[in-house]
Amino acid sequence: MFDFHLSAADKPDLYRQLIEAADAVTAGEPDPIANMANLSALLFEALPDLNWAGFYRNAGGELVLGPFQGKAACIRIPFGKGVCGTAAASREVQLVEDVHAFPGHIACDAASRSELVVPIVHDGELIGVLDLDSPLPARFDSEDAAFCAELIQRLSGRLSTVAVVPAAR
């Protein structure tokens, strides 16, 4: 149904294509789980050198595993714990070049060496976080962080659990 072929010589071009594809794949769909599922598939396919890409959702003040691509992962993460919990508690992007140097890092996949976590905020509410993991040290830089934050900011309304309604027929 969706078959995007994203390829680019430079990072800004790749992210521009990725953001367009992410917009297209979620357009008109109000269900946040469906949108998170398609976005994790898209991110995992489009961004090189990832071993995990997916979402944790804010379930009453605790993060709970959402749609993802990669190995089976930890299900519940308290706010303030690990990289994801730190992003949720602070509502700030976490760019971790070496996960082994991050106090309290939660090792779901032992292969992970670097990580980028973007909080998802919509209408002042923390919806959850986007988590990207790589087996390469320092895989993510500030450009990745800025583009992923832009993607999440643009799509946060489609990831919110507030208004799940049947799709229009």
Collapsing DSSP to helix, strand or coil, 35 comes out as helix
Q: Does 64 bind ligand SME (CB under 6 A)?
A: no
Binding segment for ligand SME (CB under 6 A), chosen from 13-21, 35-43, 102-110, 140-148, is 102-110
Whole-angstrom distance, CA of residue 108 vs CA of residue 69: 13
Identify which of residues 19 and 73 has a Cβ nearer to ligand SME in the complex: 73
Note whether 131 binds ligand SME by CB under 6 A.
yes
Q: Which residue, 74 or 89, is less far from ligand SME as judged by CB?
A: 74
Q: Which residue has the tokens 């659990």?
A: 161
In one-letter notation, the amino acid at residue 89 is A
Q: Which of 38, 88, 32 is nearest to 58 (CA)?
A: 88
Minimum Å distance from CB 3 to ligand SME? 27
| 96, 116 Cβ separation under 8 angstroms | yes
Cβ proximity to ligand SME, 84 vs 155, nearer residue:
84
Interface stretch with ligand SME, choices 2-10, 21-29, 74-82, 154-162 (CB under 6 A)? 74-82
- Helical H segments across the chain, by residue range: 11-26, 32-46, 82-90, 142-155
For 113, residues 6+ apart whose C-beta sits below 8 A from its C-beta are 98, 99, 100, 134, 135, 136, 137, 139
What is d(CA 72, CA 82) in angstroms, rounded to the nearest whole number? 17
Which one of 32, 82, 119, 128 is in contact with ligand SME (CB under 6 A)? 82
Q: Considering beta carbons, is residue 45 or 109 the nearer one to ligand SME?
A: 109
* Binding region for ligand SME (CB under 6 A) out of 4-12, 23-31, 82-90, 149-157: 82-90
Binding site for ligand SME (CB under 6 A): 52, 73-74, 77, 82-85, 105-106, 108, 112, 115, 131, 133
